[in-house]
């Protein structure tokens, strides 16, 4: 699938067939994640792939944002020790979030290009997640990506246009898409 087409046609998928995501597909999605840019190339992200239905169900119970019957999920975490040591205060408070989010977008695009779908979740109990997945003190769960085979093609949610969110050379001077 073409890259620009993948970006344009990716949707947040919350309704899945029961079919499992294969280990080969998960490997490709993880590979896309690790290839995202990372502030100062710190790469302090850590990925916990959940394929065990029992563990996935526990995660779901403690994640109000986890809708639908995804067959897998990847919990994206950051290693706070690594970010603190190599990125200082900005690393620990900012870069870790931005890095994990860029990796997440790569994962969503890779999943979509593979014919899969998923959704980003931030609404979860971090305390419960740390317990369930035995995540150590110095590692922070940041975002969950659910993954599965889309049951339906979701509609496009209301999206602001380029000219609603873009400016030229100064805040407030509207970007004119017709001029491009």
Decide whether 73 or 149 has the Cβ nearer to a second copy: 73
Instruction: Name the residue among 69, 67, 126, 74 with its Cα closest to residue 100.
Output: 74
- DSSP H or E segment with residue 153: none
Cα radius of gyration rounded to whole Å, the chain: 18
Instruction: Tell the smallest beta-carbon distance from residue 18 to a second copy (Å).
Output: 19
Instruction: Tell the smallest beta-carbon distance from residue 69 to a second copy (Å).
Output: 18
Decide whether 18 or 159 has the Cβ nearer to a second copy: 159
Decide whether 17 or 53 has the Cβ nearer to a second copy: 53
Instruction: Tell the smallest beta-carbon distance from residue 139 to a second copy (Å).
Output: 7
Instruction: Tell the smallest beta-carbon distance from residue 141 to a second copy (Å).
Output: 9
Residue 74, strand partner residues: 49, 145
Task: Report in angstroms the alpha-carbon separations of 99 from 50, 103, 114, 130.
Answer: 21, 6, 23, 20
Decide whether 18 or 24 has the Cβ nearer to a second copy: 24
Structure tokens, 35: 């290839």
CB atoms inside a 10 Å sphere around CB 20: 15
Instruction: Tell the smallest beta-carbon distance from residue 31 to a second copy (Å).
Output: 6
Contact by Cβ (8 Å): 110, 55 = no
Residue 112 backbone dihedrals phi, psi, to 5 degrees: -60, -45
């Amino acid at each position: 699938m073409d890259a620009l087409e993948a970006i344009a046609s990716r949707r947040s998928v919350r309704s899945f067939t029961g079919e499992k995501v294969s280990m080969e597909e998960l490997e490709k999605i993880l590979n896309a994640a690790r290839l995202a840019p990372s502030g100062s190339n710190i790469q302090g992200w850590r990925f916990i792939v959940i394929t065990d239905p029992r563990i996935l169900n526990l995660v779901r119970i403690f994640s109000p944002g986890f809708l639908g019957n995804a067959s897998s999920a990847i919990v994206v975490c950051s290693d706070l020790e690594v970010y603190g040591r190599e990125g200082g205060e900005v690393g620990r408070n900012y870069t870790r979030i931005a890095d994990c989010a860029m990796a997440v977008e790569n994962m969503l695009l890779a999943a979509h290009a593979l014919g899969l779908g998923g959704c980003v979740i931030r609404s979860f109990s971090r305390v419960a997640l740390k317990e369930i997945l035995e995540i150590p003190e110095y590692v922070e769960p940041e975002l969950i990506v659910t993954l599965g085979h889309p049951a339906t093609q979701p509609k496009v949610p209301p999206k602001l246009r380029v000219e609603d969110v873009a400016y030229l050379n100064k805040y407030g001077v509207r970007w004119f898409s017709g001029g491009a």
